[in-house]
Amino acid sequence: MNTSLFDLSGKVAVVSGAAQGMGRAMATALAEHGADLLLVDLNGPGVERTAAALSEMGRRAIFEARDVSKPEQVRAIFHRLDSEFGRIDFLGNVAGESIMARPEDISLEDVEQVWRNLVLGRFCACQEAGRRMLAGSGGSIVNIGSLASITALGRGHIAYSMAMGAVAQMTRELSTEWARGGVRVNAILPAQVVNPGLEKRMAEKPALRDQWLSGIPAGRLGMPDDIRGLAVFLASDSSKWITGALIPMDGGNLAMNAGGSVR
């Protein structure tokens, strides 16, 4: 039995975006510290692979191939949670994509879809998890935000930035409302973390890598595994007096106010 400050044994976590990237890294780190998991992703085969890997570690890991931008699908995830585990201690809201376009060009349909992906989906999952945590023994929620939660990025990020700004305020409001009920709500704000989308953009425009690196004092782009420590810390009792925090995971980007670039 792991008796450390970071022990998660006996806890149940729901993590979205768990087929790859930061969602998979978060889920794996939680499992390594003892949590059982319900994993969610649009990518059925991918999330099934993550669940199989965590099961091999001796954890109970089940999955749902669902779209978190659709409230009825989010609710179905929590019905499965109720029947399989009957409790929730941690929610990691990681999944959700953006659509990039200049403010003068973007359609309102695309703005609305990004809002569904990143705001409505995260809020619906927070609401479902929060209701259960408030009625149970509390819990911890982590919303993935972005540098764009608190600084402008330019370069066609208008819909993303508006949505991620809302994620920051969602986190602060929920932490304020639910702290007395033992439910903590925090956000992680990553800078550029390598994923297939970023790799494609760097392949199309090689100067982007240097542009991003010029804003990262630590001298490298993020990797999905950079989220592991924060995820375990925020899920565990070692962070029990931390709520409403927007925590940069950015190699120092926000400290030097380097998020934006008009090019």
Ligand X SMILES: NC(=O)c1ccc[n+]([C@@H]2O[C@H](COP(=O)([O-])OP(=O)(O)OC[C@H]3O[C@@H](n4cnc5c(N)ncnc54)[C@H](O)[C@@H]3O)[C@@H](O)[C@H]2O)c1
Categorise residue 138: left if φ over 0, alpha if ψ from -120 to 50, beta otherwise: left
Output 196 or 206, the one with its CB closest to ligand X: 196
Of 171, 192, 87, nearest to 132 (Cα)?
Answer: 87
Q: Which of 63, 90, 123, 160 is catalytic?
A: 160
Distance in Å, CB of 46 to ligand X, minimum: 6
Output 19 or 129, the one with its CB closest to ligand X: 19
Residue 101, interface with ligand X (CB under 6 A)? no
- Please tell me the number of Cα atoms within 13 Å of 199 on its side-chain side: 5
Across the chain, the runs of DSSP E, i.e. the strands, are 12-16, 36-41, 61-65, 90-93, 139-144, 183-190, 246-249
Residue 211, interface with ligand X (CB under 6 A)? no
> Of 22, 37, 81, 202, which one interacts with ligand X (CB under 6 A)?
22
Whole-angstrom CA distances from 55 to 15, 21, 29, 70, 72 are 15, 19, 13, 28, 27
Burial label, 245 (beta-carbon count in 10 A; 0-12, 13-18, 19+) = middle
Position closest to ligand X via CB: 21
> Of 29, 95, 141, 158, which one interacts with ligand X (CB under 6 A)?
95
115 is a catalytic site residue:
no
Distance in Å, CB of 103 to ligand X, minimum: 18
d(CA 178, CA 134): 8
Query: Going residue by residue from 67 to 86, which x/- string records binding to ligand X, judged by CB under 6 A?
Result: xxx-----------------
Distance in Å, CB of 73 to ligand X, minimum: 8
* Token pair 């991003």 in the structure block, residue: 212
Query: Going residue by residue from 182 to 201, which x/- string records binding to ligand X, judged by CB under 6 A?
Result: --------x-xx-x-xx---
Query: Looking at the annotation, which residues are catalytic?
Result: 160
Which parts of this chain interact with ligand X (CB under 6 A)?
A: 16-17, 19-23, 41-43, 46, 67-69, 94-98, 117, 144, 146, 190, 192-193, 195, 197-198, 224
